[in-house]
């Protein structure tokens, strides 16, 4: 299986690098350990074989001196206690075979005078050694020993197995240690990435700072990010201040212009021609959209600066719906849609800020109106044990899961989303107003089948109204 290293998560990269480094570094050491054993053990083996030859040779000296082959044979037969001895042969001073082990061994050639010296030979299958037996200063004979290499093979095999086990154990230890320690590198960077994503989505709290751990490169990244967020916060505060001032200054004149347009349509300034009425109707719609845009921007800037407050009082949920619907009945009819009200016969009280609840419901209705070209917009009032519920359901275009994830976040104010249809802030303001009133707003939707917004607010608890 091929590993795409560049696309692995940081913590996986750290673990992989640590484990690979430890394993690769340990592998040559393990191989050198095995090679060292293969190099040194034959020397040890020959030394042991030489010591054995010295012992057998000393015991055989008398048998050679007194020409006693039977005693010499008995001495060689003692070699059967050593399972690694393949063969042995005792030569007399003239190089003739004097005794051999085992005694049924194949014919062994005589040893020539030129070969009467100590020598050894190692092959992959056996180790051979010739040992000169001295009697005083004279050569009494020569002892030949041959041993198999099974002991060396067994030791090398054991060391190889032990080395592999050590390597595997080191691999597991390095993996566990790297898994535990990687968080000290990956977690601070993960926090930076998460904060950057939140800010990019417009959900980050610019007043919060990352906790800086240490003065290394990771600490420098966190410190630099905090500095960047601080400057971004200053820019954001300047933007919100500017929006607040501009919105506040524009709201009154736009309201006055809309008032003049209403008066003209009502004939206060005199009778109008059909063409003039048509133009004024268009101006009225534009003026209402502009007023809503300015109001949304002003509300959003107050929410961001934390200067908005709610006045929770007992409110009739039926009255909230009636006030909110009043401004949209005509627009719904003009678009050829049906308006359906359900549960309006069951009136009860909720604890809410009336104005903000009405504005929230208006924003939801405005969204339903924009997204529905045919069919019905339904408003349902539900009386649940601990909360009052208002549902606004449409038969519009619906939304994808990706769209719903970003639905209640603020768009870039006065950016490309800001237009006469709104600044993309209505639902963000709606969610903020509901949270301030200890309520909530949720949505369910399916592409091509419409959307349903559910507003939830706490009901009036008996005795709470008097306290309010």
Does residue 116 belong to any structural domain of this protein?
A: yes
Same domain, 96 and 131: yes
The Cα–Cα gap between 80 and 102 comes to: 8
Same domain, 282 and 360: no
As given in the structure block, the two tokens for residue 459 are 């009901």
- The helices-and-strands tally (H runs, E runs) of the chain is 12, 12
The pTM score is 0.49
Domain CATH number, residue 229: 1.10.287.130
* Confidence at residue 204, expressed as pLDDT on a 0 to 100 scale: 66
As given in the structure block, the two tokens for residue 236 are 């954001």
By C-alpha distance, which of 114, 149, 152, 151 is closest to 130?
A: 114
Residue in the block written with tokens 């040890």: 44
Does residue 190 belong to any structural domain of this protein?
A: no
Range of the domain at 353: 309-467
Same domain, 40 and 124: yes
Same domain, 66 and 98: yes
Does residue 85 belong to any structural domain of this protein?
A: yes
Task: Among 278, 300, 322, give the residue marking a domain's end.
Answer: 300
Same domain, 259 and 321: no
Does residue 193 belong to any structural domain of this protein?
A: no
Residue in the block written with tokens 């919060």: 208
Same domain, 136 and 248: no
* Confidence at residue 305, expressed as pLDDT on a 0 to 100 scale: 66
Same domain, 115 and 260: no
Q: Number of structural domains, the chain?
A: 3
Per-residue pLDDT of the chain (468 residues; tens, 9 = 90+): 566 777 777 778 888 888 888 878 887 877 887 788 778 888 888 888 899 999 999 999 999 888 999 999 999 999 999 988 988 999 988 888 899 888 655 555 556 544 555 577 888 788 888 888 888 888 888 999 989 888 888 877 887 888 888 888 888 888 888 888 888 777 877 777 777 777 776 666 677 777 777 777 777 888 888 888 788 777 766 766 666 666 667 777 878 888 888 888 888 878 888 888 888 888 887 887 777 777 777 676 676 666 677 888 899 999 999 999 988 888 888 889 999 999 888 888 999 999 889 989 988 998 898 889 999 999 999 998 889 999 999 999 988 888 887 777 765 444 433 333 444 577 888 888 888 889 999 999 989 889 999 999 998 876 555 444
* Confidence at residue 2, expressed as pLDDT on a 0 to 100 scale: 63
Rg (CA), the chain: 49
CA distances 42 to 49, 134, 149, 154, 158, Å, are 10, 26, 9, 13, 16
Task: Among 300, 329, 345, give the residue marking a domain's end.
Answer: 300
Same domain, 40 and 95: yes
């Amino acid at each position: 299986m091929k590993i795409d290293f560049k696309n692995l998560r940081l913590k996986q990269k750290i673990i992989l690098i640590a484990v690979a480094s430890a394993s690769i570094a340990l592998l040559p050491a393990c191989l050198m350990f095995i090679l060292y054993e293969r190099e040194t053990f034959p020397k040890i083996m020959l030394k042991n074989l030489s010591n054995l030859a010295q012992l057998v040779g000393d015991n055989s000296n008398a048998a050679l001196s007194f020409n006693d082959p039977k005693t010499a044979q008995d001495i060689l037969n003692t070699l059967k206690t050593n399972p690694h001895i393949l063969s042995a042969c005792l030569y007399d001073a003239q190089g003739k075979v004097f005794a051999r082990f085992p005694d049924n061994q194949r014919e062994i050639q005589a040893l020539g005078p030129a070969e009467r010296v100590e020598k050894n030979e190692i092959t992959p299958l056996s180790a051979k050694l010739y040992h000169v037996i001295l009697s005083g200063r004279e050569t009494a004979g020569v002892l030949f020993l041959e041993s198999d290499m099974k002991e060396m093979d067994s030791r090398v095999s054991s060391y190889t197995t032990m080395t592999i086990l050590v390597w595997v154990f080191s691999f597991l230890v390095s993996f566990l240690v790297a898994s535990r320690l990687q968080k000290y590198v990956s977690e601070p960077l993960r926090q930076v990435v998460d904060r950057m994503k939140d800010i990019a989505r417009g959900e980050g709290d610019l007043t919060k700072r990352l906790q800086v751990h240490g003065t290394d490169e990771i600490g420098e990244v966190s410190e630099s990010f905090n500095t960047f967020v601080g400057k971004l916060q200053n820019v954001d505060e300047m933007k919100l201040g500017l929006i607040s001032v501009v919105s506040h200054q524009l709201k009154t004149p736009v309201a006055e212009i809309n008032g003049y347009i209403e008066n003209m349509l009502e004939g206060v300034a005199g009778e109008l021609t059909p063409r003039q009425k048509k133009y004024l109707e268009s101006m009225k719609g534009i003026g209402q959209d502009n007023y809503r845009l300015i109001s949304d921007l002003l509300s959003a800037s107050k929410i961001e600066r934390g200067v908005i407050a709610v006045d929770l009082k007992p409110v009739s949920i039926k009255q909230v719906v009636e006030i909110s619907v009043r401004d949209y009945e005509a627009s719904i009819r003009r678009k050829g849609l049906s308006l359906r009200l359900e549960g309006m016969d069951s009136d009860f009280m909720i604890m809410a800020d009336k104005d903000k609840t009405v504005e929230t419901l208006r924003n939801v209705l405005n969204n339903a109106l924009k997204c529905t070209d045919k069919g019905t917009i339904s408003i349902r009032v539900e009386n649940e044990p601990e909360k009052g519920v208002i549902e606004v359901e449409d038969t519009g275009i619906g939304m994808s899961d990706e769209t719903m994830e970003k639905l209640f976040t603020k768009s870039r104010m006065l950016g490309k989303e800001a237009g006469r249809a709104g600044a993309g802030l209505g639902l963000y303001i709606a969610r903020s107003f509901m949270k301030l009133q200890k309520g909530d707003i949720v949505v369910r939707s399916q592409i091509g089948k419409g959307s349903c917004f559910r507003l939830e607010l706490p009901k009036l608890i008996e005795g709470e109204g008097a306290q309010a």
